[in-house]
Amino acid sequence: MPDPTVASSPNVNSTIGVKDLVIAPLTVDTEETLTYGALQKVAGAIEVTITPENADPDVQYADDQEFDVLYPDPELTFSTNMADIPLAIQEMIFGNTIDENGVLIRSSTDTPGYFAVGFRSEKTNHKFRYVWLYKVRAKSLTETYATKEGSTITRQTGQVEWTAIKRTHDGLYQAIADEGENGFEAADAAAFLQTVYAPDLTAGGTNP
């Protein structure tokens, strides 16, 4: 018979897609105030990669054993590979300017702002995993243009590398939810990418 002291495993369903990428400018992030601007949809997501950059702790040894551990502030590299990055989106995330003739102008004084970025990934059970990164800043755009080789055409996609860090306001940096799990149901999922998610961290609560 199964051991009754062993908890059953949560449901396991692989992620198989990515879609519905949205961004929102982080306009105020202080200890007292947190404000985001209006959401902007960004079509054409091909791949999203989130990579921890400084996950190794600082371990102090004493009495011939691990004595204390300090963890660094989280910093992630967040990469988005897109079918294309329209100039209006580039203007927004890189701090560039589109002039009166519709031409994107990049300047040495351009400063990328901070954004929240959200998206969802379909799972094999046809439900979705939802993700928000609360404070990310875009790095310079990598651009590649390739010639057509006869009948062979190489698609040139747009890739943006971002740095993701914690918010000053509350130290939060990421929110993840699986539809149908932990009390996160279809109604919660439908609203999750309509606004930057504000967590409910009431004592003892498990609902998102």
Residue 126 is assigned to a structural domain of this protein = yes
Tell me the β-bridge partners of 116: 24
φ and ψ of 143, to 5 deg: -115, 135
pTM: 0.84
Supply the DSSP symbol for 74: P
Tell me the β-bridge partners of 66: 61
φ and ψ of 4, to 5 deg: -65, -15
Per-residue DSSP letters for 163-205? Answer: EEE--TTTS--EEEEETTBTTB-HHHHHHHTTS-------TT-
Residue 2 is assigned to a structural domain of this protein = no
Residue 45 is assigned to a structural domain of this protein = yes
C-beta separation of 29 from 114 below 8 A? yes
Residue 60 is assigned to a structural domain of this protein = yes
What is the per-residue pLDDT for 207? 42
What is the per-residue pLDDT for 74? 76
* Owning domain of residue 70: 19-192
Look at the chain and report how many structural domains it folds into.
Answer: 1
Residue 14 is assigned to a structural domain of this protein = no
**Residuewise pLDDT in 10s, the chain (208 residues):** 566 688 888 888 898 899 999 999 999 999 999 999 999 999 999 999 999 876 677 788 887 788 887 777 778 888 999 999 999 999 999 999 999 999 999 999 999 999 999 999 999 999 999 999 999 999 988 888 888 888 888 888 888 999 999 999 999 999 999 999 999 999 999 999 999 999 987 755 544 3
What is the per-residue pLDDT for 184? 94
Residue 5 is assigned to a structural domain of this protein = no
How is residue 113 written in tokens?
């702002």
What is the per-residue pLDDT for 173? 95
What is the per-residue pLDDT for 55? 66
